[in-house]
Amino acid sequence: MADAARIAPRLTVAAFLALRGEECVRYELVEGVPVRAMTGASRRHDRIVVNAIAGLRQSLKGKPCEPSTADIAIVVPNGNVRRPDVSVDCGALDDRAQLASDPRLVIEVLSASTRGIDLLRKLEEYKSVPGLAYILIVEPEAPRALLWRPEGGAAAPWGLEEQAGLDGVFHLPAIGATLAMADLYDRVSFTPDAQV
């Protein structure tokens, strides 16, 4: 099977988006090959995603940017197509589009099966997306989140802000929003030994 994948023609982004996959299965395009994206997340993971969308939606009400689920994909300059758990698009909002036109924020909620990819490969890919202002990585087992943002412009290195506990707030002026840790983790319980 690996040999067949190596010799199969690589898909373009347009060809990938034209594919009709299995119902309820999401795919990402990685190096020209459709790869099954994580589906069937835990209730905890899903709750954090819903909380992020709800918090962002409230904060962005009446503004030009809009949050989306993993159904809206982001094209990375290397040709990969990624589906972050949550994204915020500040471009033209075409109701029929499958891609974000001007993504400014991506959020990945970590899981055991995607942790390495999210923290290494996807993080670096997202940093290469023109105009992207924020990458938020959320830890589901403890109230802890990491926010990367470019320091001083598009070509500048990315700085890191960490929030631990439920009192912090991420200020996101590039999209005119805030996201409070308490909102992000609303109705999420933690074990007493959860590291903060």
Q: What residues pair up with 28 in beta bridges, in sequence order?
A: 35
Measured between alpha carbons, how far is 59 from 53 in angstroms, rounded to an integer? 10
Residue 14 lies in a domain: no
Instruction: Give pLDDT, residue 114.
Output: 82
Cβ-Cβ contacts under 8 Å for 96 (sequence gap 6 or more): none
Instruction: Give pLDDT, residue 112.
Output: 85
Residue 33 lies in a domain: no
Residue 164 lies in a domain: yes
Domain residues for the domain of 67 are 41-184
Residue 53 lies in a domain: yes
Q: Which domain CATH number covers 115?
A: 3.90.1570.10
Measured between alpha carbons, how far is 170 from 179 in angstroms, rounded to an integer? 5
Measured between alpha carbons, how far is 160 from 122 in angstroms, rounded to an integer? 16
Instruction: Give pLDDT, residue 178.
Output: 96
What is the enclosing helix (H) or strand (E) of 57? helix 43-59
Instruction: Give pLDDT, residue 73.
Output: 93
Residue 113 lies in a domain: yes
Cβ-Cβ contacts under 8 Å for 146 (sequence gap 6 or more): 136, 137, 160, 161, 162
* Residue numbers in the chain where pLDDT is lower than 50: 1-5, 22-24
Domain count, the chain: 1
Residue 138 lies in a domain: yes
Token digits for 195? 């590291």
pTM of the model: 0.85
Residue 1 lies in a domain: no
Residue 95 lies in a domain: yes
